[in-house]
A = this chain, B = another copy of it.
């Protein structure tokens, strides 16, 4: 029976025809994929775990790029892509245990996320992306810290000293407001923690004490969040010459808010982002471009490729500083040159 479907060479054409015939007559719908998976120990799919609602991934351009790259890799290997449903409110890990997959890709979840723990407890290969290193699992990412240091140094070169920072959520609990250093250092999102540290790396040597640079955190990753966070920064210190956002989405919101307040970008306020999303490119956002699609593809390849004996592998992709038109010398310097 099985042979009739999958191994035509193992039996005579005549018997095969007869088997298939009676199968059809009996209404047999073909081999059951689940039973086959049980026996062969192959599900033919990789699971993807995202921290946010599944649908969030379809809104965030960076996540989307990652998804596209991963899908590309899966497609190439004939593997399905199983999106694991996660309800960030309820800590329901059952979905992770129920997913019939041959491996997991975990994208940007907090390091204390129970779903991540659940994935690691499953006896299947796992690749994490934009995450800190976990014991022995493969990892793909960029050097967030060094990348944003370069960007910050660029601002320092331009003359900025009074800057504010807008960042994404640092932990699973909602904290829409200022984030002190202790919260920053305890951050559970590796990417955000690294980016903040990278900014500090640049400003410290420039004589700006990091603890005095205001950092505003937002739980939701939307342009509206970026706008309100920028507003909060400017309210607390109208003398800021630059706002560094840890994502393009937040930066776009900050620009909107600046304009709303009658501030010209970059003449009155410099704004920078991180990611290099198309919307940012369109308006000439100064940012760090990271190869999101490549990242997804690398994650897929890492998972689906032959499991190298030199376990845990790590792929770090290159980034590029994009000097757009939203950063310039600060107003004060400018005024010094041209008068107020």
Contacts and interface: CB of A to CB of B under 8 A. Distances in A.
A53 interface: yes
B95 A80 contact: yes
Given A55-B71, A64-B58, A75-B87, A82 B45 contact: yes
B92 A85 contact: no
Contacts of A121: 29-30
Interface stretch (A34-42, A130-138, A140-148, A320-328): A34-42
A78 interface: yes
A98 B42 CA distance: 10
B82 A58 contact: no
Contact of A95 (B37, B44, B92): B44
Interface in A52-73: 53-55, 57-59, 64, 67-69, 71-72
Interface residues of A, number: 48
B71 A80 contact: no
A83 B81 contact: yes
Given A38-B35, A71-B54, A30 B122 contact: yes
A78 B95 contact: yes
A74 interface: yes
Interface string A175-211: 0000000000000000000000000000000000000
A305 interface: no
A54 B34 contact: no
A79 interface: yes
A87 B94 CA distance: 32
Interface string A77-108: 01111111111000010110111100000000
A165 interface: no
A13 interface: no
Given A75-B54, A75-B87, A80 B80 contact: no
Contacts of A33: 97-100
A123 interface: yes
A34 B100 contact: yes
Interchain residue pairs A-B with the least CB separation, the first 3: A54-B71, A58-B68, A29-B123
Given A54-B71, A54-B75, A80-B82, 4 more contacts: A34-B37, A53-B72, A55-B72, A55-B75
